[in-house]
Chain A
Amino acid sequence: MRLFTYLAKLLLTVLLLWAFVYGLVRELTPDPGSALSGLNTDAATRRYLEAELGLNQPFPIALGRSLYRAVQLDFGVSLRTRRPVLKEIAAPLMLTGRLALVVAILSTVVATLSFVLGLLRAIGVSSAFASAAAALAALPGFLLALLLAPWFPAYGLEDPAPRWMHLILPSIALLVPLLPYALSTGLRLAQDLRALPWFETFIAFGFAPLVIVTTRGRRWLLRGACNIAISSFLVAFTGSVAVELVCGLPGLGTAILDAIDARDLPVVLAISALTGAFASALVLTRSELERYADG
C-alpha cells in the first residue's frame, strides 16, 4: 500500500510538472510559434515546432499527446543538430549526474564523520556555528569556483588531463556550501540519538556508542544518510548550471544554456521536464525513506 501511494504521488507530481511546463509555454504566450522558435526562424522550422508541440490542436488533446510521447521518452528532434533530443542530452545528463554523485558521496562522508565525532565526544551544534553555517551555505557555487580557479584550475573535457581531474574544481565549488549542512546534520543526529532514553540505558550498561548505533540504531543511520545524500545530490544536480559554465564542463547546465541561446525549445523543454521529474522523484523518495526509518 505504501509503495502504491508513493508511486501514485510520484506520477501525479510528474504529470503536474509536465502540464505546468507545457501549459506555461503554450498558453501564456501571445504568439507561441515566434516566441518559441525565435523571430528569425525559417517557416519550415516554425511549422515543425508548431506540429511537434501540438500548437494547432486544442490544449487537452495536445497535452495528452505530449504526455504520451514523454512517457515513451520521445522528446522530438533538436532544432539545432536534428538529432533526437534524448541522444542530445544523454551525455550531459551522465556528466552532471556523475558530478552530483561525487558531491553527494563526499558530503555523506563528511556527515558520517561528524556524526561519529558527535557521538564519541558529545559535541552539539552551537548557535554561533549554526549562524556561520547558514552564511557559508548561502554562497553560490559559481562564485566559489571563480575565487578558487587560481588554485584549482578548470580542465575542459578536451584537455589532455585525466578525466577525473575535470571534476575537481566543480566538485569543490559545489561541496563547500554543503559542508556546514553536512556537518550540522551529522552533529544534530548524534545529539538527538544521545538524548534518547534507550540509548542512555545502553550507555549505562557499558556499551560503546558505536556498537549501539550499529546494532540498534541502523534506522537512524539510514535516515541521516538518505537525507544528506539525496539533499546534496539534488543541490548539486540542480545547482550546477553556472558552475559548469565557469569550469568549462559540458554538462546539463551548459546544454540548457546552449539550447536557450539557440532557442532549441525541444531540448529546453526536455531538460526542464526531466530534471523536474527527477528532482520530484528524489524528494518523494527521501520523504518515503524517512518515513520508513521513523518506523
Chain B
Amino acid sequence: MVSALPYQTPSAEFWLGTDALGSSVAIRLLIATWETLYTVAAAAAIAAVLGTLVGAALAFSGQSRLRALCETLLGFAYAAPLLLLVLLLVVVYGDRPWVFPSVGILAWGGIALSAATSLERIINSGFVRASRALGATPLAAYLRHGIPHALPTVASATAALSAQLFQLSVLLAFIGVGRSGLGNLICEGYEVYPTVWWTWLPATLVAALILSGSAWLAQRGGRYG
C-alpha cells in the first residue's frame, strides 16, 4: 500500500495515484468505502428489524390509537434533526464503534409506518379475505400473504433510510466527528491540497454515486410496494 513517492498522478501501477504519504488512493478508497458501508448497513439493519417488528405488530393489532401514538412519536422524532442528535451522542460518548449503528434505534419510525400501511392494505385485500373464508387462521394469512407482499415496501423504506444514513455517515466523517470513512478521505485530501484532485475527487464521486443509487433504488422499489 505504501510507495516511495507522494502525490503521484494516476498510472497503471496506482490507478488513482498516491496521497501525501505515498499510499495508494485506490486501496484507501476501497477501505474507506467498506468502513462507511458496514456502519451504515448495521444502523439500517437495526432500523429495518425494529421498524418491521413494530409495523407488523401495529398492523396485526389493528389498534388505531396505538397507530396514532406511533405517528405522534414519529412526528417528534422527525422534528429533532438526526444530525444534531448524532453530534450530541458523539460529544457525550466519543468516537465509539457502536455510536453510529445506534442511530438505527432512533430512525426506525418511517419503516414501521410504511410496513404497517402496506400490511393493512394487504390484509384487507380480496385474496386474503378469500383465504380467510376458506379456513386460514388470521396468523396463517398474515404470515403466508401479508409479510411476503409487504417486503418490497420495507425494502424500499430501508433503502431510503440507508441513503439518509450514508449521507449522515459521510458528513460526520467529513466534519471530523465520526469514524474514519469516505468523508474522512474527502476532507483529508481537500484540506491538504485541493488541486491534487485524485486524493479527494474519486471519493466524492463514489459517495455521490452510492447516494444517488440508493435513492434511485428506493424510489423504484416504492413503486412496487
- Please give the residue numbers on chain A whose beta carbons come within 8 Å of chain B beta carbons, in ascending order: 13, 16-17, 20-21, 24-25, 28-29, 35-36, 127, 130-131, 134-140, 142-143, 146-147, 149, 238-239, 241-242, 245, 256-257, 260, 263, 265, 268, 271-272, 275-276, 279-280, 283-284
Cα of A283 to Cα of B75 in the assembled complex, Å: 9
B residues near A143, Cβ cutoff 8 Å: 170, 186, 204, 207-208
Q: Is B215 in the interface zone, CB < 8 Å from A?
A: yes
- Please give the residue numbers on chain B whose beta carbons come within 8 Å of chain A beta carbons, in ascending order: 75-76, 78-81, 83-85, 87-93, 163, 167, 170-171, 174-177, 186, 190, 194, 200, 204, 207-208, 211-216, 218-220, 223
A residues near B80, Cβ cutoff 8 Å: 17, 20-21, 276, 279-280
- Distance in Å: Cβ of B205 to nearest Cβ of chain A: 9
Query: Is B92 a contact partner of A28 (Cβ separation < 8 A)?
Result: yes
B residues near A263, Cβ cutoff 8 Å: 91
- Distance in Å: Cβ of B117 to nearest Cβ of chain A: 18
Query: Is A17 a contact partner of B177 (Cβ separation < 8 A)?
Result: no
Query: Is B84 a contact partner of A135 (Cβ separation < 8 A)?
Result: no
B174 contact from A28, A142, A260, Cβ within 8 A: A142
B residues near A256, Cβ cutoff 8 Å: 84, 87
B residues near A131, Cβ cutoff 8 Å: 216, 219-220
B189's nearest neighbour on chain A, judged by CB, is A146
B92 contact from A36, A147, A284, Cβ within 8 A: A36
Given contacts A20-B80, A139-B208, A143-B208, A268 and B91 within 8 Å (CB-CB): yes
Cα of A130 to Cα of B76 in the assembled complex, Å: 28
A residues near B91, Cβ cutoff 8 Å: 36, 260, 263, 265, 268
Query: Is A238 a contact partner of B90 (Cβ separation < 8 A)?
Result: no
- Distance in Å: Cβ of B164 to nearest Cβ of chain A: 8
- Distance in Å: Cβ of B82 to nearest Cβ of chain A: 9
B residues near A283, Cβ cutoff 8 Å: 75, 78-79
A25 contact from B78, B92, B219, B220, Cβ within 8 A: B92
Query: Is B89 a contact partner of A140 (Cβ separation < 8 A)?
Result: no
- Distance in Å: Cβ of B121 to nearest Cβ of chain A: 21
B174's nearest neighbour on chain A, judged by CB, is A242
Give the top 7 A-B pairs by smallest Cβ distance, nearest first.
A280-B79, A138-B215, A134-B219, A135-B212, A238-B81, A138-B211, A135-B216
B residues near A276, Cβ cutoff 8 Å: 79-81, 84
A residues near B174, Cβ cutoff 8 Å: 142, 242, 245
Query: Is A138 a contact partner of B177 (Cβ separation < 8 A)?
Result: no
Query: Is B88 a contact partner of A24 (Cβ separation < 8 A)?
Result: yes
A144's nearest neighbour on chain B, judged by CB, is B208
Query: Is A279 a contact partner of B170 (Cβ separation < 8 A)?
Result: no
Query: Is B200 a contact partner of A146 (Cβ separation < 8 A)?
Result: yes
Query: Is A268 a contact partner of B177 (Cβ separation < 8 A)?
Result: no
Cα of A94 to Cα of B16 in the assembled complex, Å: 42
Query: Is B215 a contact partner of A135 (Cβ separation < 8 A)?
Result: yes
A254's nearest neighbour on chain B, judged by CB, is B175
